[in-house]
Structure 1
Amino acid sequence: MAKRLRLRALTITTETTEKTYRFAKDLTVITGSVSTGKSSLLMLIKYAFGGSAVLTPAVREHVQHVTLEVQLNQNLLRLRRNVTGDRSKVQILELGSDVPERELPVKPSPGEESASRFLLKELDIPVHRVPKSRSRRSTDFVPIGFSDVFGYCYLQAKTIDSSATGHHDPGRDSKRQTMFEILLNIIDPEIFQLKIERNAVAEEIRTQERSIDAIRNFLHVNGYADVDQLRAERWDTQEALRGSERRLDEMRTGVEALIRRDREHRNELSRVLSEAARAREVLAVARDTVRAREATLAQRRLDLAHSDKAALAAGLLSPFEFVTCPRCLQSLAGRETDNGQCLLCQQPEPQLLHESDDEQRSLLRAQITETETLLVEEQKALREAEGMASITELNAAEAQRRYDELTREAVSPRVQAIAEASTAVESLRQHLRAIDQRMATWHKLGESETTVVDLIRRRRRLDNDIKQLERDSPARQERLDEISQVFAAEVRRIGVNVNGRPTISPDKYLPKIGDSDLDTLQASGGGSTTAINVAFSLALFNYSIAHADVLLPSLLVIDSPRKGIGRTEQADQELATSVYGRLKTVAQALGGIGQLIIADNDAELGDEEDVTLIRLTEDDSAVPGVPNTGVGTRVKVEDLAEPEDE
């Protein structure tokens, strides 16, 4: 038995009210005139699952959220998704209440579980990564989603007369074909893993080949020799390097003696220069000492002269008593002064020279004599320091000359020769490294070529394994034959007038009549294409119910089959009646194991027993309180472009 996917109820909530549509029976018919919301109702079911859907302005402006009660295998779930506000999540509500148990993103971030993956898990449908393109081998693989599964459960009004499963979309057709193989269980899932591995190997081959081309171009542009020539060049370079290193060692050994002698002369020069420096310091100290001593002697001689002059003046003038001023010759008689003051200047009379003054002058003379003696000795020491400084300067100059001559004639040329030899050795080493790099490039080229050979063998083995699984799997061809037989029976039961045997094409998994594919049938016009598409969907629906290993859910939603067939011709009217008759027969045989939902303008099955009838009118449209849920008098939901998968 197929995976159980059964709709229970859809609740549409606006700002002021809400309305619940229940799908209680195996067959639900949604009927109503244009713009009453039949297609909008079906689109909101798709939208509630987290898929992309065409939402008319009336829906976007008035509907706040939709709540879908659905049974997935044995689990009953309530899904809610906002129409206004945040549309990026599908809420899982607690049964019996509006409390969200969890929120699932429509477009998940890395590591998040999406609403799509959650629904697939509930249906026990494994999430495979499938090739993005079937026409070319690529490393691009994409995961399947719930919308890929639902695409086989929902015949939209827009494509019912042109495509069974939306095969006209080039971006989705590859995945559509792969989904047919997965859902109808006609392919070993191991093939997908083998294809992923095969395409990854193919991409690695392309990467390696690009690397090989780049290496070859590099070798060609730079004129690199082949490996044998590089080996010979490396041998010659290595021999030259050994000879240069040996000569360099000999030169370094010979110069060591010169370096030792140079060190001795340098030490001697340093000693002599130090002596000269010390002699200059001694000379400077001696000069400073002599200058200081001469200054002291001059000062003491000056002090003695002042003392002698004072004593002489006192001795000469003290006996005289002035009666007239020696300057203006005025008489000083009768001039009164205090005792002890001079009549002439009225200053205190000076003390008469005492014996202590003679002692002071005697002390100064002794000090002068002593200073003169010291000065003589210090001048002698200065002359000796000047002589010693001259000698050490001469010795330093001679030592510097000898060292310069030794360096110029012996050490410097040897050092220069060693530097040149070292440069030659390093140059040979660099050349050797360059040769090694070239050889490494050749080795890398060889390794890459070996890797490519191994990868090509591996890719061939994987190709063979894939072809073997596809060719030798009896289930695939047997199942395609069985589905073709069921499809042919549905075409016959509906009464479609065809010219050829109805089959399922084994390459694209689309309806085929004789040698005519679906696009050719569509070009021929008429309502037969719609009937064939309905027959194809019914065939998959019935086949999935009858086979337990088929993963296709037991739900089929068909939007406006009469619109696709037409009403003008009598044959079209009869074909539409036949299609509805077949839908009635299928529904009566379901017995609760499957579900059909039909939307159309006329309720041809509305009066039947065991049918849930949802009748929409302008006063009671799909969106409660909105008389016109369409987009205009002549524009319908199916006329709008469907957005990308959300």
Structure 2
Amino acid sequence: MTVAFRIESVRLDTTSGAVSYEFPGDLTVLAGHTGVGKTTLLELIKYGLGGDGQLAPVARDHVTDVHVSIHVGDERYQLSRGLDAARRATVRVIDLVTGDRLADHVVGGDERSISALLLAAMGLEAGLRAAARGAQSTRAGSEITFNDIFRFMYVPQSEMNRDIAASQENYLNPKRKSVFEILFGLTSGDLLQKRSRINTLRAEIDAAEKEAEIVTQFLTDTGLTSRFDAQIESDSARADEAEAKAALVGLQDQLGDVVDRHTQVLRDLLSDAENTLAEARSLESEMRRQKDDYETERRRVKQDIDRLARMASAGLRLANIEFSVCPRCTQRLDQRNVPNGSCPVCLQTDVVSGIAIGDQYESEQLGQQLGEIEYQLTLIEKQEREALDAIASKAGLVASLTSEIDERTADRVTPRLQAYADAAAKAAVAAERQRAIERVLMQWDRAEDLTQKTESLTAERARLQRQVAEAESHLAQRKAEIFNELDAEFQTTVADFGIPSIQSASIDRDSYLPILNSRPFREASNAGGIITATQVAYWITLVTVAARRHDTFMPAFLILDSPRLALNAEDDIAGQMYRRFSTQVAVTAGRFQFIIADNELPTEPGLNIAEIGFSYESPTISTVAHPGPASVEPLVEDDAKADNEE
């Protein structure tokens, strides 16, 4: 049941109009020189599907929306995504079967994500995690999304002659292997969840063991070797506390008998005197605060009065000056007639002379304020003296009453008070000892709980490990069958390609990566051409075997960006590559879809290829004039030549 996945069309809305491309053919080649935008178009397709496309400046500056129409499983959708920051987080979805506009789906979110929509259409479960399978791993793993599946469907130019499915990124290896297993039916959602749970159980067990170690050390420091000893100590402390409290009750009853009526009256008087003394002290404190505030205000008013006096004095001094030159513009003033009673400078009515400072309104107001402040200070000082007298009087009364009460009760109460204090101290010590032992008992309970928790988690992990081993055992035969087919197909493809120096080729059962001449593909050769040819052979093998078996989730879909980039003069390999693609699509029309970006079409006749040609005069984003090859910086530098020279 190889999953159907096809890109039907792509529309780019730009600032100068729309650009559309149809992909009706099973084998489509985007042909054109470097810099015309082939990689840009493929990265925009990836972006439209919810991925992090590597967007060229022309796309960022001129493309506003990407619309990708796809056929996935039994569904047909149009996915639309804006390139601006405000809209890039959502994908607008239209069901092309019903014509209905579905709810917007988010990119990278947990609820209603575009990844979950596409995975569901492919018949895959969303929310699964790819747990690392090392013995020390304690993480559930990263969530598997459609972008991880798309790595098996799109080989970007940046990876073509370097790596396969980002296998050199170690942190991505758990995902890569889990996706491979999902696509070829070598695992299940339940099995992946159990692997994740095994890892998180390992973390929980480690945490429980560390906490148990801390609790055990605490219990060792208490000197109580067992919970039984702690319980005995707790019972003893409880008995001591009960005995001390009983003694306190008896002493309280005895104290009640030795207090006569006269002493009680004295105590009432003492209480009243103490309350009155406290009120007097509070009043004295308040009067002192108010006095400070008024004195501060008095100083401020005096400063204002002094300021007005200085201003008046300065004005009188200036009035006696006969200006012969204007102090502002320096024009002469003694050569003009000045009316009587006018200012010789501004010619306005002279109002300076004849006004005393004491007659001014502001001066009068300040004088009244100063008088009011002096009056309030007099009242406050009087109340303060009265409060001080009351304090002295009540303090003496309190001292007298206290002395008289002490004399009346010294012989009868003091001995009992000492006994009362001793009993109270004993009760407090017993209560504190009991609380401490209760904390110890709680830690013993905690230690027992942690032991049970550790045993339970360990048992659960062991059970899950057995279930995982059983599931892997059941899948072992299928895995062997699939890898036997993959090995045979891969060996045939590599031989047909005629990759130099490669005599044997297979796919590793553990890493799921190519093995060349019994060595990992990265060790077999560093040459970009060999890596590229191996890369293409690998992906053709996966798609071919998946389509042949009809029982995988591997889409019969593949995008290759510039596979001939590192092949250069290896026309035989490139020709064989295109012949394999052409042969595949010729078997059953509509079963596969291959989209290849290349600088030019192969020259071999008879290949079933649909071409979409581009040039500097007609680039992929044709609504924007191409600046010329010298002004374009490719998304991926063409370093294939350097790779080959290695």
With the length of structure 2 as denominator, give the TM-score of the two structures.
0.70
Name the counterpart of 1:92. 93
What is the distance in 2 between the residues matched to 1:78 and 1:232? 76
Q: How many residues align?
A: 505
Q: Distance in 2 between matches of 1:155 and 1:534?
A: 9
Q: Which residue of 1 aligns with 2:426?
A: 424
Letter of the 1:447 partner, please give it.
Answer: D
Q: Deviations over 1:505-539 (max 9, x none)?
A: 1211111124211211332x262322221111011
Q: Distance in 1 between matches of 2:21 and 2:506?
A: 37
Cα distance between partner residues in 2 of 1:115 and 1:433? 57
Secondary structure, counterpart of 1:468 in structure 2: helix
- Partners of 1:242 and 1:97 in 2: CA distance: 82
1:46 to partner: Cα distance: 1.1
Offset, 1:157: 1.9
Q: CA deviation at 1:128?
A: 3.8
> Residue type matched to 2:480 in 1?
Q
Deviation per residue, 1:154-196 (Å, 9 max, x gap): 1222212222222122332321111111111111332112122
Change over 3 Å in CA distance of 1:624–1:468 after alignment to 2: same
Matched residue, 1:178 = 178
Instruction: Give, in whole Å, the separation in 1 of the partners of 2:181 and 2:628.
Output: 37
Residue of structure 1 equivalent to 2:165: 165
Contact kept in structure 2, 1:183 and 1:552, CA below 8 Å = yes
Q: Is the 8 A contact 1:205 1:456 kept in 2?
A: yes
- Indicate conservation of the 8 Å contact 2:131/2:199, yes or no: no
Equivalent in 618, 621, 629 of residue 620 of structure 1 = 618
Identity %: 24
In structure 1, the residue matched to 2:589 is 591
Report the CA distance shift for 1:190/1:500 in structure 2 as closer, same or farther (over 3 A). farther
Other-structure match for 1:477? 480
Structure 1 counterpart of 2:512, which letter? Y
Check 1:234–1:61 CA distance in 2 against 1; reply closer, same or farther (3 A cut).
Answer: closer
CA positional deviation for 1:425: 1.8
Taking structure 1 as reference, are residues 629 and 95 closer, same or farther at Cα in structure 2, changes over 3 Å only?
farther
- CA shift in 2, pair 1:407/1:631, >3 Å: farther
Give, in angstroms, the shift of residue 575 of structure 1: 1.8
Q: Counterparts in 2 of 1:39-118, with a 5 A limit?
A: 39-84=39-84, 86-93=87-94, 95=96, 101-108=102-109, 110=110, 112-118=111-117
Q: Distance in 1 between matches of 2:266 and 2:551?
A: 105
Counterpart in the other structure of 1:520: 523
Greater RCO (Cα-Cα under 8 Å, separation 6 or more): 1
Match of residue 511, structure 2, among 496, 499, 508 = 508
In our comparison, the structure showing a higher alpha carbon Rg is 1
Other structure's SS at 2:159 match: coil
| SS of equivalent to 1:414 | helix
Q: Match of 1:199, as an amino acid?
A: N
Q: C-alpha separation between the residues in 2 aligned to 1:269 and 1:48?
A: 93
AA matched with 2:88: R
Q: In the alignment, is the contact (CA less than 8 A) between 1:73 and 1:123 conserved in 2?
A: yes
Matched residues in 2 for 1:56 and 1:468: separation? Answer: 49
- Structure 1 stretch 47-56 or stretch 482-491: which is displaced more? 482-491
After superposition, the Cα gap between the structure-2 partners of 1:234 and 1:76, relative to the gap in structure 1 and judged at 3 Å, is closer
Distance 1:608 1:500, change over 3 A: closer
Taking a change above 3 Å as real, the CA distance of residues 7 and 464 of structure 1, as seen in their structure-2 partners, is: same
| Superposition deviation, residue 5 in structure 1 | 0.7
What residue ranges of structure 1 are gaps of 5+ in the alignment?
272-399, 642-646
Distance (whole Å) between structure 2 residues aligned to residue 506 and residue 43 of structure 1:
32
Q: In the alignment, is the contact (CA less than 8 A) between 2:557 and 2:593 conserved in 1?
A: yes
Q: Look up the match of 2:224.
A: 225
Q: 2:276 maps to which residue?
A: none
Match of 1:446 in 2: 448
1:577 matched to which residue of 2? Answer: 575
Match of 1:496 among 499, 513, 520: 499
- Check conservation: 1:244, 1:425, Cα contact below 8 A: yes
- Gap regions ≥5 residues in structure 2: 269-401, 640-646
Amino acid at match of 2:105: L
> What is the TM-score with the length of structure 1 in the denominator?
0.70
Q: C-alpha displacement at 1:404, in angstroms?
A: 7.1
Deviations, residues 428-458 of structure 1 (Å, cap 9, x unaligned): 1221221222232233223323322332232
Does 2:171 align with 1:145? Answer: no
Task: Let me know the Cα RMSD of the aligned residues.
Answer: 3.5
Query: Relative to 1, partners in 2 of residues 1:229 and 1:67: Cα closer, same or farther, differing over 3 Å?
Result: closer
- CA pair 412-486 structure 1, distance change in 2 beyond 3 A: same
Aligned partner of 1:557 in structure 2 is 559
CA contact (8 A) 1:554 1:594 kept: yes
Distance 1:531 1:586, change over 3 A: same
1:95 offset after TM fit, Å?
Answer: 4.7
SS class of match (2:30): strand
**Is the Cα–Cα contact under 8 Å of residues 18 and 623 in structure 2 kept in the other structure?**
no
Which residue in 1 is equivalent to 2:129?
Answer: 130
Question: Are residues 1:536 and 2:533 paired?
Answer: no
Is the partner of 2:138 in helix, strand or coil?
A: coil
| Contact 1:153/1:555 (<8 A) preserved | yes
| Pair 6,260 (structure 1): closer, same or farther in 2 beyond 3 Å | same
Q: Is the 8 A contact 1:31 1:602 kept in 2?
A: yes
